[in-house]
Structure 1
């Protein structure tokens, strides 16, 4: 294998000067603040052995520290029947998007030729890296992150993000069943593009980040170039009274500064927290919970966190949303515009229009539809502006990035294993579009197809059991 370089209870809330909102939760009064812990105690010892160590030489001596690689696909001269071709794919989802300084778009997501997602080792699953040189009109799959040749390893939750120097980085999350004998059975590895304007860019050697899921949400970049990465110990999801939601603060050179931990919150699902820096310098994040999104705040740069309870506006019920501060100072939220309540012992999913009228969901009775872009003018206290992006099927897991001209590129998935769906969509919008509630910018568009295997002879068919 060739290396390519590296129940619906809502708490009363009160606004306070300099703060966003603080939920009045008496029961949490003594368990609000998080703590910092030594990074190594959470990430494991990420120091790699010397290059001549047996663990660094594929295919011998495989361990959790054996480096992964990226495999180039769809290049001139490649055999036409390689195993990662799209017409074999039956399942895919969880996309991410980035854009180069020159405007080349990059996207990544995970997929499989054989099955739906299978935690914790995700066997049979790989991550695709695709690119577009024409502003998202057409796409070409150019790399895969596939650990299957290393003891049947599988990939999950890939990430693309851009650092303070505009370098585009890819994180591959690798999972190998070492039968409990290796602390890096799950390991996050980061590669940096060396020529992001080239569809088959060379890559840096991979860097081992740690043994936690660290690749679902884009890192927060501070003005000094340091970053804060969101972490979660997915193996503990659903197990009560376990600390698992954390942040890793890193220096510009990648050296760990601290790891901070949320207090225990048994309402939290796959937390998928994504903080922003508010105008007063404090940090704010949503995190995924059973009845919607909860929020947390930090007033010391992310070292400690205070939990605030459920946010008053219900959205993205137990599913991912994203936050991003735009150059204008407005805050972008991309989320599922769905609310939920119980009537006669049944869950009713609905949305509320601009006039405050409730509309029950009839076609897709799920929390994962109505992908919507929101804007806040007041540092995230409220999100009065919104524009529906897509309600065609089961829509989830957004990711966003900004073009040089301020354009907002947003990707999300549709029906990961559903017949005729399993689509990755891209929308390009502007602040003006969201403020107007509809497309008004000439170059904006909604729901261009990045990838749909069923359009290429692949996809799940009647009778397939995933």
Structure 2
């Protein structure tokens, strides 16, 4: 071998060695960054605190935002409402109040879940959840916890109150159920199974660059999942899920149809989409577009009559230009067609309906209005007859009943770009 060949071989070895060192360093740095990011997200795994003595820190005069989460009735007639304070961002936290007179008057804030800690490197927030009274009369509060707006994992937690009608309700220590969040109530299937819709958001919802690549092992489950419990909520297992096109937080809900199939509807960027399961949620049909709708939450629930209730924005064939025209409809054929049309609130800036039906058949719906500008959490009360008639005609029926208004807004200038009649919502 001549000197030239030896030199070429040595240069080749050197280049290969240098390439390996560069690759190793980059890979090691990437792995190190991944570990650091996940360590940074670790505070989201710490057990949240249920604050049952929130005054005066969280009095209405200190609050400056309102986004509805849910409303529920407990066995002796108390109504609980939950909403988001702080903002639709990393400042978010939960506030709950109650009414003991059918929604005519409401208490000061009674419960707060605010996971913020100024000693942490990132904000830690709670922004998604729901209220649900189980068949045994216990009140469940599902809520999420994440670093920043979304750290790529978040976490679904729950706390249970076994005496929700008491003067001193007691809440259990929160337990973590899984990743993600749950905006809508569980359903109890005909075989007694509890089914909870759980969403693990797509990566497009990660706003902080630090977390853009965090938790890649969860990418398989970024969809509208369903979890089930066969022991009254003691344990939960993932059963299946649907990945909808153009996902917008999923916000899905499940109905068991009369033929035993499960019908899932979800919010997308292209209206309300649907999927059906014939094996109790283990597998689901390819998603299909169900009806036009603005990108916002809708509400569907089985009523005591067997009909389905739907609350959405606008007419059935309409995609409203704004979050406006909250309207209630009824279906007698499990969602194939709808009738009636009760205008709950036509104003711009109303959104996010959630509700329940009382034992006397009265329907209660909570929603919000102008989250940043007015921050109102409102309630409507009506019957199936009102929906079919298209007007509030039953005794005590009506809308725009005030649940809460953050008086701290009175001390602040209007948000940039807002107008009195409308505010841009998520």
TM-score normalized by the length of structure 2: 0.78
Deviation string, structure 1 residues 17-40 (Cα, Å, up to 9, x no partner): xxxxxxxxxxxxxxxxxxxxxxxx
1:14 maps to what in 2? none
The count of aligned residue pairs is 359
2:364 aligns with one of 409, 427, 432 = 409
1:275 maps to what in 2? 254
2:339 aligns with one of 364, 369, 384 = 384
Deviation string, structure 1 residues 224-265 (Cα, Å, up to 9, x no partner): 432111121224347999842211122224323443021x43
Residue 240 of structure 2 corresponds to residue 266 of structure 1: no
Cα–Cα, structure 1 residues 433 and 461, in superposed 2: closer, same or farther, change >3 Å? same
2:12 maps to what in 1? none
Q: Post-superposition shift, 1:95?
A: 2.5
Cα–Cα, structure 1 residues 324 and 179, in superposed 2: closer, same or farther, change >3 Å? closer
2:51 aligns with one of 68, 71, 74 = 71
1:207 aligns with one of 149, 154, 175 = 175
Query: For the residues of structure 2 that align with 1:318 and 1:307, how far apart are their CA atoms?
Result: 20
Give 1:327-346 correspondences, 5 Å limit. Answer: 327-337=304-314
1:444 maps to what in 2? 397
Query: For the residues of structure 2 that align with 1:164 and 1:172, how far apart are their CA atoms?
Result: 20
Cα–Cα, structure 1 residues 65 and 148, in superposed 2: closer, same or farther, change >3 Å? same
Check the 8 A contact 1:95/1:424 in 2, yes or no.
Answer: no
Query: For the residues of structure 2 that align with 1:179 and 1:300, how far apart are their CA atoms?
Result: 32
Name whichever structure is richer in helix by fraction.
2
2:236 maps to what in 1? 256
Query: For the residues of structure 2 that align with 1:435 and 1:170, how far apart are their CA atoms?
Result: 32
Deviation string, structure 1 residues 61-95 (Cα, Å, up to 9, x no partner): x8444211211236xxx6xxx33121122222033
Query: For the residues of structure 1 that align with 2:232 and 2:220, how far apart are their CA atoms?
Result: 35
Query: For the residues of structure 1 that align with 2:150 and 2:348, how far apart are their CA atoms?
Result: 38
Give 3-state SS (helix, strand or coil) of 1:270's partner: strand
Check the 8 A contact 1:89/1:459 in 2, yes or no.
Answer: no
Q: Post-superposition shift, 1:219?
A: 1.1
Give 1:53-452 correspondences, 5 Å limit. Answer: 63-73=43-53, 82-112=56-86, 116-118=87-89, 122=90, 124-140=91-107, 141-149=109-117, 151=120, 152-176=123-147, 186-213=154-181, 215-237=182-204, 243-254=222-233, 255-262=235-242, 264-311=243-290, 313-315=291-293, 317-337=294-314, 365-366=321-322, 368-418=323-373, 421-452=374-405
Give 3-state SS (helix, strand or coil) of 2:184's partner: coil
Query: For the residues of structure 2 that align with 1:106 and 1:225, how far apart are their CA atoms?
Result: 25
Query: CA RMSD of the aligned region, Å?
Result: 2.7
After the TM superposition, list the runs of 4 or more consecutive aligned residues in structure 1 that deviate by more than 6 angstroms: 238-242
Segments of 5+ residues of structure 1 without an aligned counterpart are: 1-61, 342-348, 351-364
Cα–Cα, structure 1 residues 339 and 164, in superposed 2: closer, same or farther, change >3 Å? closer
Query: For the residues of structure 2 that align with 1:434 and 1:280, how far apart are their CA atoms?
Result: 25
Check the 8 A contact 2:354/2:367 in 1, yes or no.
Answer: yes
Give 3-state SS (helix, strand or coil) of 1:432's partner: helix
Check the 8 A contact 2:65/2:375 in 1, yes or no.
Answer: yes
Bigger RCO (CA 8 Å, 6+ sep): 1
Cα–Cα, structure 1 residues 146 and 242, in superposed 2: closer, same or farther, change >3 Å? closer
Q: Mean alpha-carbon deviation: is it higher for 216-225 or for 374-383?
A: 216-225
Q: Post-superposition shift, 1:287?
A: 1.0
TM-score normalized by the length of structure 1: 0.71
Query: For the residues of structure 1 that align with 2:409 and 2:228, how far apart are their CA atoms?
Result: 41
Check the 8 A contact 2:68/2:366 in 1, yes or no.
Answer: no
